[in-house]
Chain A
């Protein structure tokens, strides 16, 4: 299998500000690839360079085997782009939105109609065919945006924060649909700042911060490499906070102390729990390590503004 996207030394500057700082990555055909990172990490800019909405400053970029600088129309013909913002055409109802979008691709009217019908069924909006898009809930709008992005039967589907601002039901419905698409071997490229989403959906993720990729790999592997199997969370009093470094120094665990809590990353936490309980610590919470731990470890806990 080839690569749907391939970037080498991809760099983007806005004036003097570096938004994407020379990154390398590949999105393989048929996989779901996620880019996670805090706001302002350069995720959206990276996506925009891929879907030909902004030119790169330097570096190499190949999308579906072509250079966005040469033939954007040829690339965009095979892309489905689902933006973070609602860009539905409010002048028209649900089905007309799909049909007009298909016309931008030059898809014949009959085929577009058939396709729109199928997709509305897929996203469970068939009954709302004639609704003005302003009447839809935010979850429905997001689903409609997905259907719109699928109208041209894309080889690569690009989703920018596909579930941001949705309630849990709406989010799970969208996840289901995305999983179905992956099974149908559509290549998916998504950005998210929900770690749970990345872990649920992605075959591989890239952790991005301040324009750079800090780590790249399958979620499980990233967790094992950067964190380990388990995490202990302790709620500490101030005297506990002072004595805990001494108490754990003989254990192979990495420790992180925040204002309220102490986190211990360890391979096998059982003996450590016993040890800490003997030393009189209470409120020890033992849980599996998650992608969020990786994310926070790599990008730091400081609020990025």
Chain B
């Protein structure tokens, strides 16, 4: 028998089913149980950014792109809240469930296959992003920074951002050996994306190559979309921006499922 003899049937393919919803429901049940912690945890950081930077720092800054600094800042904070929530959920939380709590082991002996488990967790990560984004949206509305009903379209954008970063986080989790790995991921990938996606300062005046790099980041596009929508303006390249967020996520989604299956089903 040669090494790595071909596996047949189920084992060599990805077979998703609607059973992923049962995994989503499990995560939702757990979320509901700790709702207060979840509320505080999700609002804390972004509101702090809004207060400290928007109001604090904003006093010393003039207008940015014709907007008050807090008005400039707020839409990006909503989008990034989605990114952080999804990233956290599909790295630390997934890793915890996978290796330490053995939740995955318990599920894959039921009719729910590993593909469904991973898809369910990614869907949950995206939902969590929507939840965080919606909370921030409510806070931003309370600050009086929402000027149009078009702003409600920010929510599906945040869901897309969530799906993107949930899938990316899951892919990182398939390669990770310990929690330390995620610190690197957050420090070297997520934080730079956070600071260089045009949330805190406009990218227009930077050299072309800087803008080029920034435009590869899905968050840059999400921020541009949200900033226009919150004011009721038409975003510059709506569908291109949506595509830059959504299309890579589909690749990331399937790759992470494939890799997780290879890792767990030996």
Contacts and interface: CB of A to CB of B under 8 A. Distances in A.
Interface residues of A, number: 42
Contacts of B110: 76, 101, 104-105, 152
A91 B265 contact: no
Contacts of A104: 19, 22, 107, 110-112
Nearest to B100: A90
A72 B22 contact: no
B237 interface: no
B261 to A, nearest CB: 11
A53 B109 contact: yes
B109 A15 contact: no
B44 interface: no
B5 A89 contact: no
B71 to A, nearest CB: 40
B63 interface: no
A83 B103 CA distance: 12
A77 interface: yes
Judged by DSSP, the binding face of B is: loop
B44 to A, nearest CB: 22
Contact of B111 (A16, A77, A88, A100): A77
Give the one of B25, B26, B33 with max A CB within 10 A: B26
A51 interface: yes
A55 interface: yes
B1 interface: yes
Contacts of B207: none
B1 A13 contact: yes
Interface string B26-43: 100110010000000000
Interface of B: 1, 3, 5, 7-11, 17, 19, 22, 25-26, 29-30, 33, 101-103, 105-113, 265-266
Q: Nearest 3 CB-CB pairs, A to B?
A: A104-B110, A87-B106, A55-B11
Given A13-B3, A77-B111, A100-B26, 16 more contacts: A52-B109, A53-B109, A54-B265, A54-B266, A69-B7, A69-B11, A71-B10, A73-B17, A87-B102, A88-B106, A91-B30, A96-B29, A103-B26, A104-B22, A104-B112, A106-B111
